[in-house]
Chains A and B, each alone.
Chain A
Amino acid sequence: MAAHVTDQQLRQIRSILLEGWACTGCDVRGPGFSEDCDWFSIRCGNELRKRILLKSLSPQISAVKNNVKKKRTVICPFSSQTSAMFSELQKCPRNVLVCERSSFMNEKSRHDKHVSQHYFNYKVSVFIPHCGVPPSSLSDAMRRFTRFYLVREVPVFELLGEECLEKTVRTGRFYALSYKTRIDQDDVVALLPTGQLILSVVKDTYEQLGLEGRPSQYAHKRPMRYVVVIDLTDKSMAPGSKRYDRVLWALREKVPLKTDFLMACHSVVGTEAWSLPPCLSRYPWKELQASVDTQTLRDLPCPVLHGDDLRGETACEPHAFLEWLGAVGLGIGCENEATSFLSTYECPEPRTLVDQAVLCTVTGLLLPEDIHSLLEELRRYFDQPKSSSWLSLVVHGFADSPISWGMAEHGFHKGGENFYSFVLFKNQDYWLHMGTGANDGCPP
């Protein structure tokens, strides 16, 4: 009787039955595997609750289908839980991907603004198809990234010292970010090149500090994290003023916040390279250089891109393209068959086979100014005739940074993603993809 029910039919029946009828504890065991059986059994919480004869199955299924269609909430007859529990499990936090298409020649192009406002960058990857060795000008640009410092156990009030301010905030574009502090659990401190000091602190620290701040945007009903922003360039924060003394007192006496810092300063061209001022170099420190890694990939399937088709109607869709770039970066194989057990991932269609391609990654505290000059260098790549019609630059921000673009607050939630990616085309057109996760504003 049951022998004619195939495995696939069985799966369909099960999913229809469970989608609109049962709770998460329910399970359907079917015949199909044994021939002398002519019923489905429904179990809830490991107990056999009901048997449905195969011949009475179709009215059941049509009733369920009807419920699903009308989005009616159904209560499981056995455990009195609603089937909505099942759909609750399928939800996931929002994510945003902004795609822009423009040209570098366009006067109103905002590419430089997007780059310069993404302050804390952790990793830059450049991918060039049809290229065996990166041009020397490009490798130079990658080696020219500003050196940065890792300073251990710095009390935050040191950053406010008059001598220190003179050597950091007032000399150039100074960046500082607390190191190995988690944005969803610890106190995080960042100093932006605009002279703003951001203290993103947990509730206890905030209450002890006694500085004015606001609850974090991504807090729940009862805020557990607060953000204090202090503008060090403001008149009211001039050394000696009441407000300045108050902040100094809070950070020195009330809560002596201490953390490891990553610091770098972009000095104006022509002046001496910046070095750590004495007020900071009295703590243990290390000078670091961004690490560059270059690899050549051979015989790589590569999606075809059309510069004027941002939406991906005729060629590769943005998500699929970014996914493919990620797969390349991780060395994930794209030649899986549709029936493969382990993975069914494939390079998006339409595609071509590229004989060789270069992938360069730079990691460290990377300053927007350096990324901007790298971008300018990449634009010059097409000055000489090249067989490739595009190349890409991807920049990842620090997952635990308190901000993403400009002053937009950034949180971690699940992955703390904040990144942007340029695809540069031969004719100076570009695509810009900017992506953020759940605890983040929409990219500018």
Chain B
Amino acid sequence: MSDPGAVGGSVTYQRLVHKNSSGFHYMKVSLVFEKEGKRIDGAFFKQLIISALRNVYGEIGAAFPFDVLKFEEKSLTAVLRVYNSGLVKLWSALTLLGSYQNETCAVRVVQVLLPYQYTGGP
């Protein structure tokens, strides 16, 4: 999806414009429990999201890959990576997620970003 841009005066100048060619989106999310002090590890967190996806989109709708790049057990925050095509589904499933092991919880989406950008932002 890139098109070679204009070539400037010098031979060494090169410009490429990539539109929509970044394959992934990144989400910074945090898991909030109604009762404080609940512990959960990364694998359970991913399982929780997968089951939330299944609830909303069924077996097939939920069958797309995403990565938990980082999970902090202390603050219950995570960085997720998902293909662009799965972003809307993942986001909606996270929004509709309401409980874990019979305890009320919610997922807050802190940031949704493109590559590199996910380190920053005020």
A residues with CB within 8 A of B: 11, 14-15, 18, 24-29, 43, 86, 89-92, 94-103, 106, 108-109, 122-123, 125, 310-311, 318-319, 322-323, 325-327, 329-333, 341-345, 394, 396, 398-400, 414-417, 419, 421, 429, 435, 437, 442
Contacts and interface: CB of A to CB of B under 8 A. Distances in A.
A344 B68 CA distance: 9
A14 B16 contact: no
B24 A95 contact: no
10 contacts: A11-B63, A98-B15, A101-B12, A102-B14, A103-B12, A319-B23, A326-B118, A332-B79, A343-B69, A417-B117
Given A90-B88, A332-B79, A342-B67, A319 B115 contact: yes
Contacts of A25: 58
B99 to A, nearest CB: 20
- Residue from B18, B20, B24, B81 with most neighbouring chain A CB atoms (10 Å): B18
B117 A92 contact: no
A98 B60 CA distance: 36
A87 B114 CA distance: 21
Interface in B60-100: 60-61, 63, 65, 67-71, 79, 81, 84-89
B83 to A, nearest CB: 9
A79 to B, nearest CB: 13
B13 A399 contact: no
Contact of A396 (B12, B63, B89, B121): B121
Contacts of B102: none
Interface string B1-43: 0100000111011111111111111100000000000000011
B14 A415 contact: no
How many chain B residues sit at the interface, stated as a range, is: 35 or more
Interface string B37-62: 00000110010000000000111110
A344 B65 contact: yes
B111 A123 contact: no
Given A330-B118, A345-B67, A429 B12 contact: yes
A97 B79 contact: no
A342 B68 contact: yes
A100 B70 contact: no
B22 A415 contact: no
A323 B19 CA distance: 16
Contacts of B84: 90, 92
A91 B57 CA distance: 16
A91 B88 contact: yes
A345 B60 contact: no
B112 A415 contact: yes
Contacts of B67: 342-345
Contacts of B88: 89-92
B69 A345 contact: yes
A43 to B, nearest CB: 8
B18 A415 contact: no
A110 to B, nearest CB: 9
B18 A99 contact: yes
Given A98-B16, A344-B67, A429-B12, A14 B59 contact: yes
A394 B13 contact: no
Contact of B114 (A14, A95, A108, A311): A95
B119 A329 contact: yes
A332 B69 contact: yes
A92 B57 CA distance: 18
B116 A322 contact: yes
A405 B17 CA distance: 16
8 nearest interchain CB pairs?
A: A27-B58, A329-B119, A396-B120, A90-B85, A322-B116, A343-B67, A323-B115, A326-B116
B116 A325 contact: yes
A367 B43 CA distance: 43
Contacts of B10: 102-103, 106, 108
A100 B116 contact: no
Given A91-B88, A96-B18, A415-B113, 18 more contacts: A14-B63, A25-B58, A26-B58, A95-B22, A96-B19, A100-B15, A101-B14, A102-B8, A102-B10, A102-B14, A123-B120, A325-B119, A331-B70, A332-B70, A342-B46, A396-B117, A416-B121, A437-B114
Contacts of B12: 101-103, 106, 429
Nearest to B61: A24
Nearest to A122: B122
Contacts of A345: 67, 69, 81
Contacts of A344: 65, 67
A415 B114 contact: yes
